[in-house]
Chains A and B, each alone.
Chain A
């Protein structure tokens, strides 16, 4: 387990001792093709670092349909899903499904929160990192939503005012 964590870029910000703490707190899990790693609407309570395999991310649409949002391959780019669940309480906003065999390291919320309660620096370092990731993404998403609103207004959408008000009610600075 420890060896697995060593090679993962995501854990590079931790010292060797802290990585060991997380090695104890986490478990290696595997999923078969078609298996859900995260399910939209369900309690989302673990962070997963994808070690191998590929997943797809889908969002449900009204009428029981869903649409593909993204495909993530563990061998390149982003490899962490579910980071929000460690800090927050809201259910998952999309479904993450294994496309083939997927191996992942799972950090459960309970274990993580226990580490926080014990005041372990490793847990705080991880939450600092997640908080920064969330803040960066939120800032960009907010800008992009503003862009989208401008775009929709330019196209002469008529009920934009109500839409706009509803969209941006949950802002913080």
Chain B
């Protein structure tokens, strides 16, 4: 039988020591999703952070009516639900198990309490999540720059575009 990877194999847990990882194992509960099962549904609550230790999930979003746009295929080890933890507990995209998926689920409220109490394990975890977000922001900046230039070069320019561009820039982290 294949060994299920434990938390130390998940990159964002790498810098936690044994005790801190054990603390998480304690808090979390093992969950299993069958292939085809939804882990998060776009627009629905996202109240848990899942540390995926085996299997593959697909992330998608309805970009155009009636069409689902695949955003990413994520393989274990990985984490989903971190955006819900740090922003609103509402899923911005859908996450579906496309193979059998094994994960540890941790409640968002519990994690937020730990963060408020400066719990070292939770703090380290969020630091690592922050590092992944910083890299993602770098990529998103390039995307946004392209979108802006493209909108500006497209037919039917209007003031709307300026407003839109100003909005995008507000949210940029250089």
Contacts and interface: CB of A to CB of B under 8 A. Distances in A.
Interface string A91-103: 1111010000000
Interface in B9-66: 40, 46, 59, 61, 63-64
Interface residues of B, number: 62
A172 B146 contact: no
* SS of B interface (majority): helix
A85 B131 CA distance: 9
Nearest to A125: B118
B4 interface: no
A88 interface: yes
A61 interface: yes
Given A124-B126, A135-B133, A163 B173 contact: no
Interface in A108-157: 116, 119, 121, 124-125, 127-128, 130-153, 155, 157
Given A69-B169, A131-B127, A141 B87 contact: no
B71 A61 contact: no
Interface in B141-174: 141-147, 149-151, 154-156, 164, 167-174
A135 B131 CA distance: 11
* SS of A interface (majority): helix
Nearest to A116: B127
A157 B156 CA distance: 11
Interface residues of A, number: 64
Nearest to A70: B169
Given A84-B134, A128-B115, A171 B164 contact: no
A90 B147 contact: no
Interface of B: 40, 46, 59, 61, 63-64, 69, 71-72, 74, 80-84, 86-87, 91-93, 95, 115, 118, 120, 123-124, 126-127, 129-147, 149-151, 154-156, 164, 167-174
Interface of A: 38, 44, 57, 59, 61, 69-70, 81-94, 96, 116, 119, 121, 124-125, 127-128, 130-153, 155, 157, 163-164, 167-173
